[in-house]
Structures are given as C-alpha cells and as structure tokens.
Amino acid sequence: MVEVSDKMKNNKDSLERRFLRIIPVVIVTAIVTSLVLVNLGFLGFVPPSEYKKYAKYKLLEQSIKAEFYKKPDEKKLEEATYKGLFSGLDDVYSSYYTADEMKQLLEVATGKYVGIGFVVGADKATGAIKVESVMDNSPAKQADVRKGDLVVAVSGKKYSYMEMDIAVKNIRGPENTSVKITFLRDGKKIDKTITRKEIKIVSIESRMLEDKIGYINIKSFEEDTAKDFRKALTSLEGQGMKALIIDVRDDGGGLLTVVQDISDRILGKAVIVYTKDRQGNKNYLKSSDKEKLDLPIVVLTNGNSASASEILTGAVLDNKAGISIGETTYGKGLVQGMLKLKDGSGYKLTTAQYFTPNGSYIDKKGIKPTIEVKDKAQQLPKAIEYLKEKIKK
C-alpha cells in the first residue's frame, strides 16, 4: 500500500477540493470538472518578449473597431479573446467562464439550480447538442423531453455543440419564466415552451433488495451526496444488510471530497487515487481507517460512468473491497482546477492526470468491469446473482 506523503498532507486542501465531472453535465454549462476557488488579480506588466504577441492583438482589435460594418460589442470581443485562448489548448475540459457562467457553475455544485432539468453533451457526429438524460419530476420530463433529442435552437437562435456553454446559459433563467427550445427527434423538429423551476438534484436513491442485498444508486457527487450516502447505508445496515450494490451507471462525476467521504465509510484505510502533474509530482488521496464495510460489494458501471465515478470504482477494485459488473467506464483520467477571478469570471484548466491506486491510467480507456454484462436490463440481476453466492459462502 502506498503511504500518504508529507507533501500530500501539506497540499491536502488543494487535492481534496477538486471537482470532477464529465460531459454531459446538468444544464448550467458544458463541462464541470473541478473546484478550487482562489481570488486572483490581473497582471499589469507585459514582458518585452511578449510585446509582439499583444501588439498583434491590438492591431487586429483596432481594425475590427474601425472597419467592421457595424459597431462591435466590446465586452463580447473581450470575452471571446479569453475563451479563444483556452480553446487553443484543444482540451475539452479547459475553458474560460464569464462572471455569470461562473455563478451558474458554483450553483450546480450545491445540488440546486434554476433550469428545466436535463443533461446535455456534445454530439460530434451531427455537430449538435444532445440530451443525454432527463431528470425525474423536472419541467423537461413533464414536457416530454427525451434522451437522444438534439437541441437545435434556444429562443429561436441556433446553436452547435461548440456553443454549448452559450446555449445552456440561455436555457437557464429566472424561476417561473419560460424558454422556447427547438428539438430534433427522428428527423423532425419539435418546439417546446418550458417553464423554468428550481431543480433539486437528488443524488442518492436506495432500497433493500432480495436476500438482504442493499442497493444505493449514486446519480452524481454533489455537496450533500456523502451525507445522504451515509444515511442510506446506515438505514440498510439497520435492516440487516448482508451485501451492497453501488450503482454509478450514468453518473458523470462531481466533487472529489464526496468520493473521499464515501470511501471513508466503506474502505477503511486505503489509497483512493493519486495525481501526477507535468513535473511528475505525485499527490495521494487516502481514506481514513475509522470505518470499513466488511460486506461483499458490487459496483455497477457503464460507458457514462465517468471521473468521480471511476475514481470510486477504481478504489473499490484496487483495494479488493469488491468487484464491478456492467460495461467499461467512460475513461476520464484528467484533473481540472477551477479558479475564480476578482471580477467574478474564472476558468478551469487541466492540471494533472489521475491514476487508480494500483497505478492504472484510465484516460480514454476506462475501467473494464470484473464481469462484463452489456445488456443494461441484466446488469442488476447479475449483481444480485453474484452477491447471493457470496452471501452463502
């Protein structure tokens, strides 16, 4: 077992507060992946070696302002400059956010936001924004928005997946106001006018299955998820639980602190994950030895189990606390840091790679299940069958 280094202890806050999430994300912005808030100022000095680069920018800006056929929006030009800088990284997880977008990002981390309640992702095959899932009891659900629908236009304006952040921003708005969205379904356009409501993200669902097998579905890793997970687990234990199924299928990720809290409850003393930056520096995140669930565990996964979901899955597997059943996970092995600037804007930037406790790098590879079951309808029954055998022994 790898021990936690002194450097890890010193940098505990910077690692533990990271926020991991993959496309698709809840209607707030295109991709949310990490959360490390820092108030930063702005540079006021440009080194001579950098002057030519900024001189060219100023020349182009002046040409636009002088020659464009209508008066440009200077604020939009400025924001586009910052966004363009990050787009040059060719990294879908790194991005600049305006003050309004940052506010929305931070709201969703609390597990509450005002919107219509569906999750979107980029459909690169068509160039469109695709509905990946629809939340239960949401305005979108009531309006019959379906998984697989393509978002063509918002309030009459067309958007591609490259403009997903802007589309999402316009889908959101004040509570009890309406937004008109044009969807494409089976080649036909469908217009829907949907009223925005406050959405409470229910991240945990649990129940007792046959033969005292507990079941906990983690839908996302939000601020209250660890607390709700502990409540669910305590309730199941009170009912005499003999084994546990943790379902992270279609869970795109969330807060790393939540992964740690859940690991504290089920793994005992164990390495959860470690990260490595460009300089080769490693930081280890470890669960405490105060609690451990000494019961057979199965983690259910599929191709949409990503980021924080994969970290929990890897921690369970590599520490031999249980097995996984289902399909290979998404494969996101990159860590982002998010910083908030003094004017309220901010950015997220991929800063490191992460590895499972045994050193597996899963980016674009995913985690293969211990037992592969491609048919979603058969994954839970297979987990129950496996655990029944374990209980008998």
388 is catalytic: no
Identified catalytic residue from 130, 219, 332, 340: 332
Rg (CA), the chain: 23
Identified catalytic residue from 336, 340, 345, 348: 336
Strands 371-372 and 346-355: unpaired
Helix (H), strand (E) at residue 45: none
Measure the CA angle with vertex 210, ends 207 and 215; round to 5°.
30
94 is catalytic: no
Identified catalytic residue from 138, 307, 324, 345: 307
336 is catalytic: yes
Q: What 8-state DSSP symbol labels residue 174? A: S
Which residues are tagged catalytic? 307, 332, 336
